[in-house]
Structure 1
Amino acid sequence: MVIALAVCIGGGTGSGGAAAQAVIDGWSWSILVPSYTQTDVLGSHLRELMNRDAQRDMPPPDVSALRYTPSKARRSANLSAFVERTRAVDPNGAADLQRLFADGDIIEKIAALIAPHGLRVDNLADAYALWWVTAWQATRGDNDTLGHDVMAAVRAQAARALNDAGGPARASDAQKQELAEALLVQTALIDGAVEQAKGNPVRMRQVRAAVSNGAQRMGLDMARMELTGGGFVPGGGR
């Protein structure tokens, strides 16, 4: 991944190991992402934009509507809600997630890691781009560092799609924060799961399959896209 987010979940042991297992179990995908996001609509916009971007250059997108003012109180409520939603379907996973969140502010940890790369946690385009790249790499069993130009291109694609989808750009600050933090938590878990699976082919296959299935629930078929210096383009295939 562009930034080593695996450190946010304990470097592969303790709560980190247990939390990353949640990626394989698959509980986080449908539980953490808020329903207003309309991931099927967003996914269709992303697929359309990949086709457009592959054909011609696009002007820089406006990201102003995707920014939000974060609140520590809302963050605490969001993380607590993620745990409670998980508890309803996976009590063990919820306990692991609760231990992870108790080990310091995971969003602040991510913010510190991505800031040197020009990315922020208070912008939906940045959060979605981080998740998209990390998930795509995970389906390839990879989390190598990527260049700034690649991330900038994916961020632009994410911003265009989020703006075109309408709902995320029009959402309240509270809704934007909930979506961004759900994506950021997922990103750290995925990156940690890939890191832990290195050297274990069976576990890596499980991680790759789980992330691929989860991304499909977000409206994206990672097998049918490739990542280039200009962002994501159609490609691959099963």
Structure 2
Amino acid sequence: MKRLSMIIALAVCMAGSGGSGAAAEQFMSDGWSWTILVPSVAQTDVLGTHLRDIVNEDKRRSTPPPDVSRLGYTPSKARRSANLAAFVERTRAVDPNGAADLQRLFAEGDIIERIGTAIAPVGLRTDNLADVYALWWITAWQATRGDNDTLGRDLYAAVRVQAARALNDSGGPASASNARKQEFAEALLVQTALIDGAVEQAKRDSARMRQVRAAVRKGALAMGLDMARMEITGGGFVPGGGR
């Protein structure tokens, strides 16, 4: 989503602070992975498997819509500050330069509020896991194809339904506390903004774009999702690709 790329004012985590392509690839492969940045509210392989099942299951379209309200949470500014600090520390273990870049980015203002403003026009919110997961899913899928165009509101809504069904059925996220939901959501939102910014920055550099595409695909695979085997339609994600 191009609106998100404007949030990343620094060359965050793209070349380490020393401009090394190898450092960039290492950070994107490890620092953006679920296990480093995103807390374990749900087992990623379980959630990814369920998402794949939903994509493959045609009858999902005739089932009642999922209860999205179970995935909402009331954000706390204090928790947000703690979450962002924790993300920096998790990243520091993998890439100290990248962690310093993240810290500077967070110091520029409330990144979650800025993301919320950017995604509001397509009908998404930052205080609901279904919205956040749909945003991450679409952004990551686009990144594996070297794209970050903003899509239509109806498409985001369709993927939101898919995400809500999976998150509810997998159990953990829907029953998590406010604090855990917020931590999960904010980690995905930060990761989404970084991915979007990376794609935007790599558009004039084909070698870097190959790194970004490969790194995002690797991170998604760690979450149980093979983006190469999905395509997106007006009704959400469907089986396809295989590239």
Structures share fold, TM-score greater than 0.5: yes
- Per-residue CA deviations over 1:99-122 (Å, capped at 9, x if unaligned) read 111111100100111122221100
In structure 2, the CA distance between the partners of 1:204 and 1:73, relative to structure 1 (3 Å rule), is same
Q: CA deviation at 1:21?
A: 4.5
- Per-residue CA deviations over 1:64-108 (Å, capped at 9, x if unaligned) read 110000000000000000001111221111111111111111001
Task: Flag structure 1 segments of 5+ consecutive residues without an equivalent.
Answer: 11-15
Whether 1:174 aligns to 2:168 is: no
Question: 18, 30, 33: which one pairs with 2:12?
Answer: 18
The answer to whether the 8 A contact 1:37-1:179 is kept is no
Question: 122, 138, 149: which one pairs with 1:133?
Answer: 138
- Per-residue CA deviations over 1:108-163 (Å, capped at 9, x if unaligned) read 10011112222110000000000000000000001112111110100000000000
Question: 226, 235, 238: which one pairs with 1:230?
Answer: 235
- Per-residue CA deviations over 1:15-66 (Å, capped at 9, x if unaligned) read x213344774221212111123211110011001011147744432111110
Letter in 2 for 1:28: W
Question: 188, 191, 204: which one pairs with 2:209?
Answer: 204
Aligned equivalents of 2:154, 2:63: Cα separation in 1? 15
Structure 2-normalised TM-score?
A: 0.91
- Show the 5 A alignment for 1:59-70: 59-70=64-75
| Matched pairs, number | 232
Question: 19, 28, 48: which one pairs with 2:32?
Answer: 28
Structure 1-normalised TM-score?
A: 0.93
Aligned equivalents of 2:123, 2:150: Cα separation in 1? 15
- The aligned residue for residue 6 of structure 2 is 7
In structure 2, the CA distance between the partners of 1:55 and 1:68, relative to structure 1 (3 Å rule), is closer
- Show the 5 A alignment for 1:106-117: 106-117=111-122
Aligned equivalents of 1:210, 1:222: Cα separation in 2? 12
Task: Flag structure 2 segments of 5+ consecutive residues without an equivalent.
Answer: 17-23
Letter in 2 for 1:44: T
Whether 1:195 aligns to 2:180 is: no
Aligned equivalents of 2:118, 2:41: Cα separation in 1? 28
| Percentage of matched positions with identical amino acids | 73
Whether 1:100 aligns to 2:100 is: no
